[in-house]
Structure 1
């Protein structure tokens, strides 16, 4: 069940993120995109009775494969960060859910963590691009 949910949500997130970027702009990478990803992974897993952490981790693996293919296998940093990041967001969600009983609070905390993470990564990439000019 976890594999199916992760694969379906990775596909859905890919399409939704593309639409966000096309119609709203790149700012969605640090706003709507992470929230949509977290909602898709968490809510489908929760309401279908699947384990949240494996769904998030498998989603990260799928994203890592995509990143690796897009980079033509030259670098492993983005793929490894995808796996670690999404696994972490799943652990945050499951931890908050376990402590509070609220999937919505877990989703909010994980979404905040994901947005914060993306802002941090975008800033690092922007600084790196500035230094290479």
Structure 2
């Protein structure tokens, strides 16, 4: 079921992200898109009652495939790897937050904060 949750999250995020990018550029990349992605991944996993970490991992694989398809060969490989690792890490953060007794809202918030920081760093320095 986590594969389905990851696919749903990737599809919903893709549609929303496309609209956000048209209107907000870098602000969307560093603030809005990370929130959309963290919310869709976690809520998809919770709605289907499946693994949050595995759902985030599947999302990262899908984003990685997209990165490879839309980037140069040299950049695409590294972007794909970064997608898989980073989204898995965001899933671990969300899961650990919830497992330590906090609301899934806090899990999404903390993952969003880290994801936003990551995207800010990538867009500013790489």
Report the TM-score, using the length of structure 1 for normalisation.
Answer: 0.89
Distance in structure 1 (CA, Å) of the matches to 2:4 and 2:83: 19
Contact 2:3-2:58 within 8 A present in 1 as well: yes
User: Which residue in the other structure is 1:35 paired with?
Assistant: 35
| Count of aligned pairs | 125
Distance in structure 1 (CA, Å) of the matches to 2:47 and 2:96: 17
Counterpart of 1:74 in 2: which secondary structure? helix
Distance in structure 2 (CA, Å) of the matches to 1:92 and 1:25: 27
User: Which residue in the other structure is 2:10 paired with?
Assistant: 10
1:52-81 CA distances to partner (integer Å, 9 max, x unpaired)? 000000000000001011125333110000
CA drift of 1:35 comes to 0.2
User: Which residue in the other structure is 2:46 paired with?
Assistant: 46
The 5 A counterparts of 1:1-133 are 1-75=1-75, 76-125=77-126
CA drift of 1:9 comes to 1.1
Distance in structure 2 (CA, Å) of the matches to 1:44 and 1:10: 10
CA RMSD of aligned residues (A): 1.2
Distance in structure 1 (CA, Å) of the matches to 2:25 and 2:66: 21
Distance in structure 2 (CA, Å) of the matches to 1:21 and 1:34: 12
Richer in helix (by share): 2
- Stretches of structure 2 lacking an aligned partner (at least 5 in a row): none
Report the TM-score, using the length of structure 2 for normalisation.
Answer: 0.93
Distance in structure 1 (CA, Å) of the matches to 2:72 and 2:124: 24
Which one has a bigger Cα radius of gyration? Answer: 1
